[in-house]
Amino acid sequence: MEASCFTCFCGLQCLASGGLPELLTAAKEHLDKGGPPILIFEDHSGTLVDFNFTGSLEDVIARAIPVEVPRGPGRPKLGVTGAEVSLLPRHWEWLDAQPARASGTIRRLVDAARQGATDPQRQKVDAAFRFMTSLGGDYPNYEEAIRALYAGNWPRLRRLIRDWPADIAGYPLWILGLGPAVGPDTRSAAARTGQPAGSNEIWRETATAIVRGIAQGRWTAVEVMEAYLSRIETVNPAVMAMTAVWSDDALEAARGVDAALDEGRSPGPLAGLPFVVKANIDVLGHPTDQGIAALSMIGAGSDSPLVARLRAAGAIPLGHSNLPDLSLRFETSSSLHGRTLNPWNPTMSPGGSSGGTAVALATGMASVGLGNDAGGSLRLPALFAGLPALKPGTGRFPQDHRSGGHDPSYASQVIPVDGIMGRSIVDLGLLLEVLSGPDARDPRVVPAPSRGPALPRPIPVAVAANPAGVAIHRMVASRVTEAAYALERAGYSPVPVELPRFMEVLAAYDRLIMTEFSLVGAGLDRLIGEDGRRYLDFLRAATKPADLPGYVALTSLRLELQRTWSQFMEEWPLILGPVFSEPFVPVDTDIADAAAHARVGLGRALCSVSSFLGLPAVAVPCGIIEGMPAGVQLIGRAFREDLCLEAAAVLEKEFGLLGPVDPRS
C-alpha cells in the first residue's frame, strides 16, 4: 500500500487520500463550500472514523493531532495515529475522563494491534471487509464478493465488484495491494479497477508480470490472450515471425483458466500465460512443418514434453514460429513461409534457427517461447532481438525429436537441446522450475535440482572475449569487458583465461555433425529449398566426414573433452564471453560466399563449443551497439543453470531490458 493513512469519500467518489493534515484540509474545504456529507476511512484498518469539523481548520487539526501529549496518567505517551493503533479525539476525551483506566486501555489496544500485525495480509483483508461492509452492502454480489475476499480469490473478487461504482470497487483493491490508489486524479475506468492505463498493451509486460496479474485478477486470461492476438494481427505481417496462430484454441483455453480461477481452483503456476513454439516442436493436432512443404499437412499426435509441461502449468500455446528449412541455417528463412525480418533493422539478420520465436517475443507477440539450440540457435537470435535466452545443459529438459517414429542419430541426441526465451531473466528462472526434471519419453534427463548449492564468494569467472582468435568487433569485446566489470562490482571474480583445447572442441563438433549429415545428404537436398542446399554445400566443403573408425574415435574424444572442461570448471564455475563476434550481420551472410560462411561459423564458436560439451548457457542483452542490441553469454557447470541465471540477473540490472520494439516505426 501507499503511504496515505486516510481516505475520504463523498457519495460514491473518493474526495481525498493522504496523511491526516492533508486529508482534513481537503475535507474541511469541501464542507465549508457546502459540499455533501463525507465519510472518512482509516486505510490500515478500513474502519469508518469521525472528526469534529467545527471551527477553523487549525482547530480541526489541533483536535485531531494534539501538538503536545502530556505525560501524566490522563494522557498515555502515544501518538494519535500510527501503524499499530489509531486513537481519535473521542478516544482521548474518554481516556481524559477516566485516567485510572487509561494505561490498561492503551495496553490492550496495542496488544491487540500487535497480534493482528503478525499476519499483514489478514489485516488488509479485514480492512477491505470493513470498508465493503460500510459502503458496498447494497451493491450486487456483495455477499459473494465477501466470500471471495476471505477465500483470497482475487480474480473472482474483481469480477464480482466490477459493476460497482468505480471508486467503491477500487479502494478495497488498493488496500489489498491489487491496484492503484483511487482519487480525483485516477478517474479512468482502467485505473479504478486496477488495470493500467492502456491495458490493451498488456503485451508489453514480462511473463512474470502476466502470471502475477492474472493470479491477482488484474487481468483475465481472456483479456491477456486478446491483447496478444491483437498484437500478432498488427505486427506479424511486418516481420513474418509467426507461421500459424491458433486463435480459437487459445481463447477457449483462456476461458477455461478464467473459469477455474473463478471457482477457486488453481490452473497452475503459469495460468493464462501465452507462449509461442518453434515449428520443429510438436503441438498436438498441428503440423510440425519445420519450414518445408513435405511436413506441412501432418498434425502432431501429441505435445512435445516441454509443451505438455507448460500446458500442465496453465500456460497456453499461441502458435508456431518460423525457422529455416529443417533448422539448417544461421538465417531464419523457410521455403514454406518465407523470411523473418529483424524488427530492429530489416536489412540485418535475425539469426537462426529459432529466429521466429525471438522476433515474436521482441515485437510483443508473446513474452516467452520455445526453441532449440545446437550451436547458438537460441542464443544468436536472442542476441539480435535483444532478449535473454536459456540453453539448458544436456539432460536438464526432456525432449522428443523423433521423426516418423525414428530417433535421431548420436550427434543429434547429445548436442541439440530444447530451450527457452523470455523478456527477462526472472522469466527464464520461472520456466526453468516448470520445465526441469525427468519424463518417461526422454530417459536421458537427470532429476537434478533446479538450484544447486551456493558457492563460496567471490565466484571465479573465466573471461574469454575472443576464444576462437578471430577478428572480433571492438564494441563486442568492449561489452564483454563492461560485463566483467559489472560482475566484479557484484562480488564475482572475473579473470581473462584461455579456454582448454578450444579449437580442438570446435573441430570435433564440426566433424561429428558433418559425418552424420553425409549419410542423409541426398535426402536433405530433396526436402529443403535452394538457400538451404547452398548452406549445406558450404558446410560440406569446409568439413569432410570421418570414416567409421574416425567416427567412433570422435565419440570417444567428446567424452575426453567433456572431462577436460569439467575439470577446468571446478576452478572456473562460470565462463563469460560473446554470443557472436560481431554486433550484427547482413541477411544471408551465411550463404554469400565461402569466406562469409566461415566467418559466421567462427563468429559463433563459443556457442558451438558449449553445445558440443552439453553445458548450460544464458544469453543476456547488454544495451545497444550502433542501433542494434548487444549482449554476452554466461556458460556454467553441468546442471548449474542457476549460476548462469544469477550472474545474468546482475547484467540485466546493469544494462536494463530492451523492447518490445515496433517493427513499423
Distance CA 379, CA 395 (A): 19
Name the residue with cell 493522504: 18
Distance CA 590, CA 542 (A): 13
- Here the cell at position 58 is 487549525
Q: Which of 4, 377, 424, 611 is catalytic?
A: 377
- Here the cell at position 140 is 450486487
630 CA to centre of own chain: 19
Distance CA 256, CA 247 (A): 14
**Of 69, 10, 72, 75, whose CA–CA distance to 41 is shortest?**
10
**Of 198, 213, 220, 228, whose CA–CA distance to 363 is shortest?**
228
**Is the CB of residue 615 less than 8 Å from the CB of residue 447?**
no
Distance CA 53, CA 30 (A): 11
- Here the cell at position 307 is 509443451
Q: Which amino acid is at 532?
A: G
Distance CA 577, CA 495 (A): 12
- Here the cell at position 337 is 513461409
Reported as half-sphere exposure (CB side, CA atoms, 13 A), residue 318 has a value of 32
Phi, psi dihedral angles at 408 (to 5 degrees): -70, 165
Strands 316-321, 274-278: pairing is parallel
544 is catalytic: no
Q: Which of 327, 334, 353, 424 is catalytic?
A: 353
Q: Which of 4, 45, 199, 278 is catalytic?
A: 278
Please report which helix (H) or strand (E) contains residue 461, including its range.
Answer: strand 460-463
**The Cα angle at residue 645 between residues 639 and 650, in degrees rounded to 5:** 150
**Is the CB of residue 336 less than 8 Å from the CB of residue 292?**
yes
* Residues whose CB is less than 8 angstroms from the CB of residue 173 and which lie 6 or more positions away in sequence, other chains included: 157, 158, 179, 193, 194
Phi, psi dihedral angles at 628 (to 5 degrees): -125, 150
Q: Which amino acid is at 424?
A: S
Q: Angle, to 10 degrees, between the axis of helix 594-603 and the axis of helix 530-542? A: 80
Q: Which amino acid is at 227?
A: A
Distance CA 76, CA 95 (A): 9
Q: Angle, to 10 degrees, between the axis of helix 502-527 and the axis of helix 548-571? A: 130
**Is the CB of residue 340 less than 8 Å from the CB of residue 322?**
yes
Q: What is the separation, in whole angstroms, between the first and last Cα of the chain?
A: 38
**The Cα angle at residue 423 between residues 205 and 330, in degrees rounded to 5:** 140
**Is the CB of residue 576 less than 8 Å from the CB of residue 482?**
no
Check residue 340 and report its DSSP letter. P
Distance CA 347, CA 345 (A): 5
**DSSP for 588-644, written as a single string:** TGGGT-HHHHHHHHHHTHHHHHHHHHT--EEEEEEEEETTEEEEEEEEESTT-HHHH
Distance CA 128, CA 86 (A): 17
353 is catalytic: yes
Catalytic residues, which ones?
278, 353, 377
